[in-house]
Structure 1
Amino acid sequence: MNSKIKPSKHHVNTEKHSAFSSRNLWSGFLFGIGLVTFMDEAIFHQLLHWHHFYDKSSTSIGLISDGLFHAFSWFATIASLFLLADLRRRNGWHRMRWWGGVLLGAGGFQFYDGTIQHKLMRIHQIRYVENVFVYDLVWNIIAVFMLLIGFSLIFFTTSHKKRGMMSSHE
């Protein structure tokens, strides 16, 4: 008698979707972090000159910190795109779940930046003006909206998956 039990096709597909579900989130999350940090670096650091990543020292240190911040954003972006390419190759990319991850990564980083780095650690401000409150408010409201939409997309794809309705490229 053969004591090995062969897994059912449904069980294998469920495991496959579970693995792809997690990878979609991670790929999107990393891409969201990379995207929002790249935009922050390009717009607020380089084009507008509002601040550096680390403003508690000299301009030279600020520029070095910007370079490291920029490198981090590209590493996150490239890693996410390798994960995305693998998902596409395996026919495991779920567009809405991935975009949910993007918005969670972008919103999560922006909220972290606006609360922890700007207010608690005070390593830089959005802009050095008398009434920075307006800038902080807009920055964090945008972050919360991204988080809410990201969580909604993930909840939507999770509830569809539980009902067996999730398919690739939805």
Structure 2
Amino acid sequence: MTAPGVPTRGGSFPIAAGVLFGLGLGGFFDGIVLHQLLQWHHMLSSWYPIDSIENLERNTLWDGIFHSGTYVFVVLGLFVLWRRAHRKHLRWSNRALIGSLLIGWGLFNLIEGWVDHQWLGVHHVNERVDRAHWIYWDLGFLAWGLAMLGGGLRLLRRGRAA
């Protein structure tokens, strides 16, 4: 046992914090880039197309609720990181950080892509293209998530081995 205020040694990087950050960053990217900048879709745009002010307001509200959820992931990640770093010295690992971020972001894409695009159909990645092409954008989004998840797992393994 160490004296109060003296960090203990040997704590590994908190992977859960990185995964939570990745979930949040994936959501921010989706919401900021795909919803706002490119305006390819909104949260409920397949159910409520942006063809009236009422539907735009409904989608904007749900975009905000979505952003609030992604913000919660980032705050939780910060809390986990702070709790672990506050109590003991951490062995910082760039590979563990980047790997866990990619795992979280990849999980975001896979879960959001499967649930919202495929299962519920509330929106699709790019609703500005012909409807027949939506599936290709949705599958690309899932493939991107799978690639990030795989790359993240690989980096994390390398980081632990080093």
Displacement of 1:141: 2.0
Q: TM-score, normalised by structure 1?
A: 0.74
Q: TM-score, normalised by structure 2?
A: 0.77
Does 1:39 pair with 2:29? yes
- 1:19-168 equivalence runs, <5 A: 20-21=12-13, 24-55=14-45, 56-57=47-48, 58-89=55-86, 90-95=88-93, 96-128=95-127, 129-130=129-130, 131-158=133-160, 160=161
Aligned 8 A contact 1:87 1:93 in 2: no
Q: Percent identity of the aligned residues?
A: 26
Q: Which residue of 2 aligns with 1:7?
A: none
What is the identity, as a one-letter code, of the residue corresponding to 2:90?
G
Superposed CA offset, 1:133-166 (max 9, x none): 33223322211110111111222344x2xxxxx6
Bigger relative contact order, structure 1 or 2, given CA contacts below 8 A and separation 6+? 2
| Deviation of 1:93 (Å) | 4.5
Report the Cα distance in structure 1 between the residues aligned to 2:91 and 2:134, rounded to whole angstroms: 41
Unmatched runs of 5 consecutive residues or more in structure 2 = 1-7, 49-54
CA contact (8 A) 1:84 1:93 kept: no
SS at match of 2:43: coil
What amino acid is the match of 1:69? F
Q: Which secondary structure does the structure 2 equivalent of 1:122 belong to? A: coil
Give 1 or 2: higher strand fraction: 2
Larger Rg: 1
CA distance in 2, matches of 1:54, 1:136: 15
Distance across 1 between alignment mates of 2:106 and 2:89: 27
Deviation at 1:76, TM superposition (A): 1.1
Unpaired segments of 5 or more residues in structure 1? 1-11, 161-165
| CA–CA separation in structure 1 for the residues paired with 2:91 and 2:83 | 9
CA RMSD of aligned residues (A): 2.3
